[in-house]
Amino acid sequence: MSDGQSNGNSETLVSGARLRRCLDSTEFWVVQLPQYADRNQRRADFWAIAAGILAAVTSLAIWPALGESPTIEAKILVSVVSLAAAICALVPRIKGHGELAGAARVLSAQYGSILGRLVDLLAEQPLNQETAKVVVNEFQAVKEKKDALRGLPIRAGAQAAHRE
């Protein structure tokens, strides 16, 4: 029976070519997902630090601004900095940078596990169809979770084919 042919019981066999495509995709995402996680964590950290600094500046500036003879300029400055602090605190929440980073780290570990099993599976001759189906199904489940992440890097060649 050739690679990918039906065995007569209407179950499609997993081909070596499909496993190699899964392996290529897995190798790409095992490297890219930690980098993606780090970028998102840096973004979340930047906005959290900016919010903290602006909140500290506001708290220090509020007392002179609210003194006996507060000027309108001082009140406006304190208000603008307070608003900026609130906006900076909201950005990582709205964009979900921290959550995306956490999810990417989990998915990277899952891809790592699948990577080893794909390499081992491709080395087997003949190909163990039962194991291959399990690994491909696990790959598909992790890929679906990965595809739900926003702002992922685009694989060269995957743009046209979407064969990851």
What DSSP string runs through 107-146? HHHHHHHHHHHHHHHHH-SS--HHHHHHHHHHHHHHHHHH
Task: Look at residue 124 in the predicted model and tell me its pLDDT.
Answer: 87
Task: Look at residue 88 in the predicted model and tell me its pLDDT.
Answer: 87
Task: Look at residue 68 in the predicted model and tell me its pLDDT.
Answer: 59
User: Would 158 be classed as within a structural domain?
Assistant: no
For 91, residues 6+ apart whose C-beta sits below 8 A from its C-beta are: 47
User: Would 6 be classed as within a structural domain?
Assistant: no
User: Would 162 be classed as within a structural domain?
Assistant: no
User: Would 10 be classed as within a structural domain?
Assistant: no
User: Would 35 be classed as within a structural domain?
Assistant: yes
Q: How far apart are CA 115 and CA 121, in angstroms?
A: 10
Task: Look at residue 71 in the predicted model and tell me its pLDDT.
Answer: 77
Task: Look at residue 162 in the predicted model and tell me its pLDDT.
Answer: 42
Q: Which residue has 């491709």 as its token pair? A: 122
User: Would 61 be classed as within a structural domain?
Assistant: yes
Give me the domain span that covers residue 82.
Answer: 18-150
Task: Look at residue 157 in the predicted model and tell me its pLDDT.
Answer: 53
Q: What's the predicted TM-score (pTM) here?
A: 0.73
- Per-residue pLDDT tens digits of the chain, which is 164 residues long: 444 444 444 467 889 899 999 999 999 999 999 999 999 999 999 999 998 888 888 777 666 656 655 677 777 777 888 888 888 888 888 889 999 999 999 999 999 999 999 999 999 888 889 999 999 999 999 999 999 999 898 887 544 444 44
104 contacts 40 by C-beta, under 8 angstroms:
yes
User: Would 140 be classed as within a structural domain?
Assistant: yes
Name the domain count of the chain: 1
User: Would 164 be classed as within a structural domain?
Assistant: no
